[in-house]
Structures are given as C-alpha cells and as structure tokens.
Homo-oligomer: A and B are copies of this chain.
Amino acid sequence: MEKLTEQELQQFLESHQGWQLVDEKWIEKKYRFKEYLNGVDFVQEIAKASEEINHHPFIAIDYKLVRVRLSSWKENGITPLDTKLAEQYDAIYETIKNV
C-alpha cells in the first residue's frame, strides 16, 4: 500500500474534524465521553474493527478522554488503511457518544 500524498493527507485532515498530524507520521484524535465506561466500550469497538483488517492503533485511556493514533509502520507514514480506520472510528463514536 502506498503512502498518501501530501495533498491527500491535507485533504483528509481538512475534511475530518479533530484529526491532526503528530510527529509527521501519526494521525491522532481525542474522543471525549460523558461516562467512563462509554469510552471503554468505544475502545472495544474500535479494537474489533482494527483487528478485522489487522491494522492496530495506539490507544490511551485517560478517564473520559480516549486518544487514538494511527500510522502504517512499513510505509513509515499515513496510508489509506489509516484514514479508512479513522473514518470507522468516527462512525463508531457517533453511535456511542450520546449513550
């Protein structure tokens, strides 16, 4: 799989709220929850989606704040695999955030 071009990456970041580039090779987003265990449920759902395509994010749970980072190691940057998962995570968040 090939890395996104600079332009494709910018386009993704501009059209997906909350995602930002970190250390030039990660895309990161912080998701906030009303209840602690909702955040934990979110983590379980995004982990399942990630395992399905064998591409795994770094996840940090700091009380009601869940921080997610994606990168493609082999390509040392962002590929469509990362942005595809990012969109899935956002969709999962929509189903959980107001529970």
Contacts and interface: CB of A to CB of B under 8 A. Distances in A.
A40 interface: yes
For the complex, would chain A's binding face be called helix, strand, loop or mixed by DSSP majority?
helix
A43 interface: yes
B44 A40 contact: yes
Given A40-B44, A43-B43, A44-B40, A59 B60 contact: yes
A47 B40 contact: yes
Interface residues of A, number: 16
Nearest to A58: B62
A51 interface: yes
Nearest to A61: B59
Interface in A37-69: 37, 40-41, 43-44, 47-48, 51, 56, 58-63
A56 B40 contact: no
Contact of A61 (B47, B48, B62): B47
